[in-house]
Structure 1
Amino acid sequence: MNVIIIEDEKPSARRLQRMLNKLDIDAETMLHSVEESIEWFQNNPHPDLIFLDIQLSDGLSFEIFEAIDISSAVIFTTAYDEYALKAFKLNSIDYLLKPIDEDELETAVVKYKNRTSLNQSVTLDFNDIKKLLVNPIEREYKKRFSVKVGQHLKLINIEDIECIYSENKGTYVYTVERRNYLLDMTLDQLEDELEPETFFRISRKFYVNINAIKDMVSYTNSRLQIKLNHYKEQDIIVARERVKDFKNWLE
């Protein structure tokens, strides 16, 4: 099965790719904009299945289908409200509400396979759906975390977090109070929860808050070292493959 992902938030695309890998589905191609997708479809065989985000960085993804005649099946990955989701159902469209749940992803994939095995149509009328989705809703991201401190629960506001990191199979937040707190989530699970303009995953181990960055210096092998306002427990290094995206994020 030939599968591609069209998603403008690269961390979300990579997370979906990893989830599909667990289902033995390779989605090697990831596209991130309307313009990039149109160019790709003009020069490549069309896939069996597309995982499609609706709102891309340069417009609605429906513009792709206006420019190119595509017969691929589509599973939407969306943050749209319940009204729009009902429209998907009425038009026999599969959808996954962000943040994507692994069980729901598997169910959607099984549904697609069952329909294709029965030779049922899996193509869509995008013009009808587009009329219902011209106004994308604002994404909701984490505003705070609740953490356990002894027998008590403590609320930590997102703006009070300098960085989030993994260590010894645990995930920790480091706050402006110079304290560490253990979270019950992994870094991968946080990818769809953190505001992407504020937090960036610089490596497999660290997220940093842009408002906590004090300095950035060149490091070995074309990497960068980040200095935060308070965190000094270990070096914070931007992975070499993430340096370009990190610089773009800063701007």
Structure 2
Amino acid sequence: MSQRNEDEQLKPLDPSTGDNPIQTEEKPQAQGFEGFSYNEDVMKFELPPLPDPLPKCKAALEKFVVPKESDLVRRSFMPLRTHPDPLIEAYFENVTETGKSRLPWELVRPAFLWKVKSCMDEMVRWHRQREGPDSVDLSEGSENKRMYDFILEKAAKFEAAPFTWQRICELLNSPSRHYRKADKYFRALDKTINVVTTVSEDGRRMTGNPPYSSETPDVYSIEQLFFGQKVTGSPNTKDQLEPLDMSRKRTYCSDEEAPKNEESDEEMEF
């Protein structure tokens, strides 16, 4: 091979010329609709917030009526029937998401009482449909009947949304999603509804305790705490201080002389 051919083979390619077969072309940035760039703005893109369903739910609750059993409907794949007005069901679903009632209890109470009874009846119907008519015992004196009556009675006594309102609405929104047997569903409702504390529309606790009175003194003198016991009135009155009987005190020199407590920690049974 001649020297000229060897030099041509060893000569490096000039990237500025068109002899370079491995030229990289800069790819244009992918563009979406209306100038939306996927490479830069995809992480910043946010869907607009959904409208609040509460106003429509409030209007539906204001005209709520207990439906006939023949008017109940099944939606999607759920085996239990629900209210024909979807906005009634949407309210309980909204509570599961927000955790708050956001509506006056007087407005929610009729739909709540119907929903509790309807869910229990539907769970019994679905259970018997799968496992036979005698699979759920609701006769008088049975445990299922006791829980059934207690849940309805407890629900009717609430004067505001219970403290477990969000969990109750979760059980009412889709019972068959978590339970397949009526008795287990009754127990879950029984535990959740058996509360005393209630909450306001915005979720604040309403304990029902009497207001605090500042007339009763909170701080007493150390002399009063040591030498006497407050009876009534002001602690500064000597006649109202009952002195301790120091004659009953006895000093023990050792642990052996001290009488043993009959109700010691070792003998106490909890």
| Same fold flag (TM > 0.5) | no
Structure with bigger strand share is 1
**Greater C-alpha Rg:** 2
TM-score by length of structure 2 reads 0.20
Ranked by relative contact order (alpha carbons within 8 Å, sequence separation 6 or more), the top structure is 2
